[in-house]
Chains A and B, each alone.
Chain A
Amino acid sequence: MPRTSSGKKVTNKTVNKKDIAQLLNQWRQEFAVLVPSLATGVARLASWDGTDTSFMDWYRNTVIPPKANLLPPVEEMFSFHKDGEGYHIELPPSDGHQQLIFGIRPCDAKALAILDMTFKDIYEDPYYLSKRSNTILVGLGCTNPYDSCFCTSLGSSPTDSTDVDLMLTDIGARFLVEEITDKGKELMANISLAEEATEADEARAQAAREAAYNKVTRQLDTTDIGQKLLVNFDNQDYWEKIAAKCISCGICTFFCPTCYCFDINDELVKNRGERFRSWDSCAFPLYTKMPMENPRLEKWRRVRQKVCHKYEFYPIDFKVVACTGCGRCIRLCPVNWDITQALANLPAKVRA
């Protein structure tokens, strides 16, 4: 039986899959509920319509990562106008509502924990953090990872509950429900349709966890990966070869759940305007052009930056690899550029 960190026995719960709509509706009294949705023509986490639970049928991760719900592709930072007295700045109306993300996958929940480090660092980003602190994560373990997934190589698993508030594991007709945080516990406090998990439920959940773990077949050896990248930093031949087929589009960074770079643009109409921030990508030749120049004009430098930022620099700054093995960069790439190959083929030692 699982134990809390204090060693006290906890009893998990179960919820019948047929009751998920009822459960979500109960939560919807209090939160804006987001679920995996195809309604906009691409799989993403979107506002739940109150009835549709078809996301339980497709059971695979969304194309657009949940970071888009906290760091949107485009976001108004403030508006401004000028009159006789000078400039006036107005913040967008604060959106203080509590949101509940249902069905976030372990890799993506971990990615949010990784993003938190950047947005809480020297400068605290109010746009991201206000949404983040108003967000509750209900995780849903994967039963059917893609062939591009490699979370198990990064210390996680398809059913890892570390970074969510409440964790659901598919045990057949029901979900096993684990209350991971106090917020998660509160979520389940008044849910009468939940039942106490039996020993058999726990055994089924354990079997499901192991089965899902074993379905992740893509492996990446991350031993000493930061060190390997360090010694290969000036190995231009290697990076040129690795980068050759990259087309410098923004897919791998935009759809990466941990990439956070953004650009800032003003839209001016006469004496008023808005300031927007929108996703930017180190893959673009014009990245950082606005404040200065792009120091990485050649493509191989940009590809190197992306790889090193995730596997070398982020671990130096925050003691964690900024990749969760979600595999989106591999499965969405139009030319099948594969980061696991780029890392696996790194020379162990470089000739002087």
Chain B
Amino acid sequence: MKDGNIEQKLQSEARALLEQGRVDYIIGFEVGSLKFTTTPLITNNIADIDRLVINPFIVNNLSVYLTEVKGRVGIVAKGCDSRSIVSLIQDKQVAREDVVILGVPCPGIIDLSKVERLAGKDRDELDDITRNGDRVVITVDGNGREFPATEVLFDNCLGCDFPTPKEYDVLLDVSSPLVSDKAASQEKLDKLKGMAPEPRWQFWASEFDRCVLCYACRNVCPACFCQRCFVEESEPQWILPVPRWQDSLMFQVVRNIHVAGRCTDCGECERACPVNIPLRSLTREMYDLVDELFHYQAGMDKEAPPLLAAYEATDAEDFIR
């Protein structure tokens, strides 16, 4: 289905939800204020519904707003986002009956930083980026160059196993063919895993040396739903909230443990990071460990107890030393 058709379907569904009073708010995407961007649209106004869009740039995991927006909500969700919603339901942060999931079968989202690298130009200097199935055409100064989509999709999209929401109320399209490249998706992570502990430690020390503790990684993350984060506790003070690499790394490690079994590899933490710290290399590793040790994937079953709140006698424990 073309984006235009899926947009029409989304708009008519969203309009009906508001008109019939089935939801109080719609959370979706509208065109952003910068080229090739979208921005979250949170509205209770039917007149805003025409602004809803679906395109290859719908980056945000909108479920982050669910714990904040009051009342019943109709929400646009890609595969990973819908899993985050299910995870929030499992954690009793959101009630299933309060959410109408407008599911988007996701063909993968375009990573503008990859496009910029390929084009050798910044986002705002590009004329056009067009996705056609497994190809993407980037137009610079009037000249279009075609690339395999696998070269411009986000790493987490290339490794995605569930691009189509499993939990939804309305599915806005038929599933699109999966464009994946597992090797590319794992490339950064594999490189790190191949390193000896000492250089790997040095790598992270130098990465976290850039961290300014803006907490964007935490605040875009739907799994980080704590009302009050441990870094903000002052009695006792778990870590010193000053951006030195040791403190910043400690914050990220604890955050990673807290979202284990909740992280759906949506990739938002890494995308949001203003200083390019490859955070997904940490979260994806945790995601894989959770799968390996507990055979658990976040947000797949709304009836299942949350991983960290459940115990079974057969649980792996050989990692406890």
Query: Hey, which bits of chain A sit against chain B, CB under 8 A?
Result: 40-42, 60, 63-64, 73-74, 144, 146-148, 244-245, 247-251, 254-255, 263, 265, 267, 276, 278-279, 281, 284-286, 289-290, 299, 330-332, 334-338, 340-341
Q: Are B34 and A335 in contact (CB under 8 A)?
A: no
Q: Are A42 and B210 in contact (CB under 8 A)?
A: yes
- Residue from the list A64, A263, A335 in contact with B39, Cβ < 8 A: A335
- Please list 19 pairs of residues, one from A and one from B, whose beta carbons are closer than 8 Å in the complex, sorted by A's number: A40-B210, A42-B210, A60-B122, A64-B212, A73-B212, A73-B213, A244-B65, A247-B216, A247-B219, A248-B219, A254-B214, A255-B214, A265-B240, A276-B240, A276-B242, A281-B214, A330-B33, A336-B39, A338-B33
Q: Given that A148-B34, A247-B216 are contacting pairs, would A63 and B243 also be in contact in the complex, using a CB cutoff of 8 Å?
A: no
Q: Given that A263-B241, A338-B33 are contacting pairs, would A250 and B275 also be in contact in the complex, using a CB cutoff of 8 Å?
A: no
Sorted nearest first, the 7 A-B pairs with minimum C-beta distance are A250-B214, A334-B272, A336-B39, A147-B124, A249-B216, A336-B32, A249-B219
List 20 extra interface pairs beyond A247-B220, A278-B213, CB under 8 A: A40-B206, A41-B276, A60-B122, A244-B69, A245-B40, A247-B64, A247-B216, A248-B219, A251-B216, A267-B240, A267-B242, A276-B242, A279-B213, A286-B232, A290-B234, A334-B60, A335-B39, A335-B220, A336-B37, A340-B33
For the complex, give the distance between the alpha carbons of A281 and B241 in Å. 13
For the complex, give the distance between the alpha carbons of A340 and B120 in Å. 28
State whether the Cβ of B114 lies closer than 8 Å to any Cβ in chain A: no
B180 to A: closest C-beta gap in Å: 25
B 258-278 contacts with A by CB, 8 A: 268, 271-272, 274-276
Contacts of A64 in B (CB 8 A): 212, 275
For the complex, give the distance between the alpha carbons of A214 and B57 in Å. 28
Contacts of A334 in B (CB 8 A): 60, 216, 220, 268, 271-272
Q: Are B276 and A265 in contact (CB under 8 A)?
A: no
For the complex, give the distance between the alpha carbons of A245 and B234 in Å. 28
Q: Are B214 and A249 in contact (CB under 8 A)?
A: yes
Count of residues in B whose CB is under 8 Å from the partner chain: 44
Contacts of B271 in A (CB 8 A): 334
Q: Are B243 and A279 in contact (CB under 8 A)?
A: yes
State whether the Cβ of B22 lies closer than 8 Å to any Cβ in chain A: no
For the complex, give the distance between the alpha carbons of A74 and B209 in Å. 11
Q: Are A74 and B244 in contact (CB under 8 A)?
A: yes
Contacts of B60 in A (CB 8 A): 334-335
For the complex, give the distance between the alpha carbons of A290 and B233 in Å. 11
Closest residue of A by beta carbon distance from B64: A247
Q: Are B42 and A245 in contact (CB under 8 A)?
A: yes
Q: Are B40 and A147 in contact (CB under 8 A)?
A: no
- Give the interface SS of chain B, mostly helix, strand, loop or mixed: loop
Contacts of A245 in B (CB 8 A): 39-42, 65
Q: Given that A276-B240, A335-B60, A336-B39 are contacting pairs, would A147 and B34 also be in contact in the complex, using a CB cutoff of 8 Å?
A: yes
Q: Are A244 and B37 in contact (CB under 8 A)?
A: no
Contacts of B65 in A (CB 8 A): 244-245
B 271-293 contacts with A by CB, 8 A: 271-272, 274-276
Q: Given that A146-B122, A340-B33 are contacting pairs, would A250 and B232 also be in contact in the complex, using a CB cutoff of 8 Å?
A: no
A307 to B: closest C-beta gap in Å: 15
Q: Are A336 and B232 in contact (CB under 8 A)?
A: no
State whether the Cβ of B92 lies closer than 8 Å to any Cβ in chain A: no
Contacts of A73 in B (CB 8 A): 212-213, 243
B 200-244 contacts with A by CB, 8 A: 206-207, 209-210, 212-216, 218-220, 228, 232, 234, 240-244
- Give the interface SS of chain A, mostly helix, strand, loop or mixed: loop
Contacts of A330 in B (CB 8 A): 33-34
Q: Given that A244-B42, A263-B241 are contacting pairs, would A251 and B276 also be in contact in the complex, using a CB cutoff of 8 Å?
A: no
For the complex, give the distance between the alpha carbons of A285 and B218 in Å. 14
Closest residue of A by beta carbon distance from B68: A299
Q: Are A41 and B275 in contact (CB under 8 A)?
A: yes
Contacts of A250 in B (CB 8 A): 212-216
A328 to B: closest C-beta gap in Å: 9
B56 to A: closest C-beta gap in Å: 16
B2 to A: closest C-beta gap in Å: 24
B30 to A: closest C-beta gap in Å: 10
Contacts of B37 in A (CB 8 A): 336
Of residues B228, B234, B243, which shows the largest number of chain A Cβ atoms within 10 Å of its Cβ?
B243
Q: Are B275 and A42 in contact (CB under 8 A)?
A: yes
B 39-54 contacts with A by CB, 8 A: 39-42
State whether the Cβ of B38 lies closer than 8 Å to any Cβ in chain A: yes
Q: Are B243 and A74 in contact (CB under 8 A)?
A: yes
Q: Are A336 and B38 in contact (CB under 8 A)?
A: yes
For the complex, give the distance between the alpha carbons of A276 and B122 in Å. 37
Contacts of B188 in A (CB 8 A): none
For the complex, give the distance between the alpha carbons of A90 and B48 in Å. 59
Interface string of B53-90 (1 = CB under 8 A from A): 00000001000110011000000000000000000000
Of residues A60, A247, A337, which shows the largest number of chain B Cβ atoms within 10 Å of its Cβ?
A247
For the complex, give the distance between the alpha carbons of A250 and B228 in Å. 16
Contacts of A247 in B (CB 8 A): 64, 216, 219-220
State whether the Cβ of B35 lies closer than 8 Å to any Cβ in chain A: yes
For the complex, give the distance between the alpha carbons of A148 and B241 in Å. 31
Contacts of B68 in A (CB 8 A): 299
Q: Are A249 and B215 in contact (CB under 8 A)?
A: yes
Q: Given that A74-B243, A247-B220, A336-B33 are contacting pairs, would A41 and B214 also be in contact in the complex, using a CB cutoff of 8 Å?
A: no
Closest residue of B by beta carbon distance from A75: B242
Q: Are A74 and B242 in contact (CB under 8 A)?
A: yes
Q: Are B39 and A146 in contact (CB under 8 A)?
A: no
A83 to B: closest C-beta gap in Å: 24
For the complex, give the distance between the alpha carbons of A147 and B35 in Å. 8
Q: Are B124 and A146 in contact (CB under 8 A)?
A: yes
For the complex, give the distance between the alpha carbons of A331 and B112 in Å. 12
Contacts of B34 in A (CB 8 A): 147-148, 330-331, 336
Contacts of A278 in B (CB 8 A): 213, 241-243
Closest residue of A by beta carbon distance from B207: A41
For the complex, give the distance between the alpha carbons of A265 and B122 in Å. 39
For the complex, give the distance between the alpha carbons of A284 and B38 in Å. 24
A342 to B: closest C-beta gap in Å: 10
Q: Are A42 and B220 in contact (CB under 8 A)?
A: no
